Chains A and B, each alone.
Chain A
Amino acid sequence: MVYIEVFAYLRQKYGSMDILESKLKEMGYRIANSIYEYYEPPHNSVTGTVKILIRELAGIEKIDVEKKYSDDGKEIIGFSVIFRKCPLCVPEVEAEGIHYCTPIMAIIEEYGNLALRDGKIKKDFNSIKGKVTKSVSGGDDVCEYYYEIIKE
């Protein structure tokens, strides 16, 4: 509840949705770096780790993960994480142009990337890049983050 007040205050203070969004992402990245020190990746797959991480940190029990495949169906090119009862979104308080739960999306992205970097999740890709595609604060029924798989 205080987060919503802080969010509104910062939105007014920055005066720019782009700046606020980048600040919320940075916030998520820094939180992920601290969590990574306390909390070992709990699964050897990215999607398994993401599901457990969201459950343990945000207290959300039901999380769906949908994989997206390349046109020939042989390769995973990304995945979506979908859940209800987001701890940062409040259905009664909608935000235009930005999603309240941007920090959670960024925490997952950074934590996954740290685990990939250190080989704690062994995959044939190097990183993931996330974006919020739906959020309860944006007027949707669910929060949904899409993570693109980056091979370099």
Chain B
Amino acid sequence: MKKLEKENIRDKVGIWARFLARLGKHLMFWKQSKMSKILINLSYREIVRLLIETEGDLESALKIIKKLSSNAGRDFLMEWVEEGSAIFSKHVGDHAHWIKAGYYSFTGDNIKYIEYFPPEKESDPHRVVWRFHDDECFVCANGTRLKEELLVTEDDFGEMGYCCIIAGIFQTTVNMINEYVGIKYKGIVKETRCKMKGHDFDEFVAEFYPTE
């Protein structure tokens, strides 16, 4: 596997890089092969169903999905990371820009709420938080019906959220970017709220811990 790294990365994303990100995300989405969101939603439902069969319960199935999606796709994401390098910097807080651009590149949807929170005290991680309201998240859109079809209740999720696949993919992506730009942080992405579990919105948190 190719090792990622790049020289001459800027210190922080500025106005020009943000403009590039706005243009580039449309171009990258246009280049993607486009499966319909309904097909992705239903295919994911069926993968969850198969894994419930093999693992015995929903929480275990979702843990497997998070693990598999965290390991998945380095080779496929490599192209995205290299093409996205024009908007990269060495500032960990700029992950908010890259996550937003990346999500649009993959799905064609905008993340309407995303924010970077610097550490309040030294032991805290840097955090990027993003949320989906209503049916913005195509993975759990039509969630009430999904629960009925999978014969699960809110209690069956345990500590996992239904959209953990998004957390897994972005965990791979943010760590690839860290490696590429040479910033010494380990990224951990979690789904902290999920509409399928009765929350008002889906929430994902990317936490960045210094590795040195």
Contact = CB atoms under 8 A, between A and B. Distances in A.
Interface of A: 1-6, 9-10, 13-14, 23, 27, 30-31, 34-35, 38-39, 56-60, 85, 87, 92, 103
B69 A85 contact: no
Contact of A1 (B34, B43, B47, B76): B76
B43 A3 contact: yes
Contact of B33 (A5, A6, A39, A87): A87
B33 A59 contact: yes
A59 B34 contact: yes
B50 A2 contact: no
A1 B170 CA distance: 13
Interface in B119-172: 149, 165, 168-169
Interface of B: 33-36, 38-39, 42-43, 46-47, 49-51, 54, 64-65, 68-69, 71-73, 75-77, 149, 165, 168-169
Given A1-B73, A2-B169, A6-B65, A27 B39 contact: no
Given A30-B46, A60-B33, 6 more contacts: A2-B65, A2-B165, A6-B50, A34-B42, A58-B35, A59-B36
A79 to B, nearest CB: 22
B54 A10 contact: yes
Given A58-B35, A85-B33, A5 B54 contact: no
Contact of B38 (A4, A6, A38, A92): A38
B29 to A, nearest CB: 12
Given A5-B68, A5-B71, A23-B50, A58 B39 contact: yes
Given A1-B76, A23-B50, A59-B33, A9 B42 contact: no
- Which 5 pairs of residues, A with B, have the shortest CB-CB distance? A1-B73, A59-B34, A5-B68, A27-B46, A5-B72
A30 B47 CA distance: 11
B35 A87 contact: yes
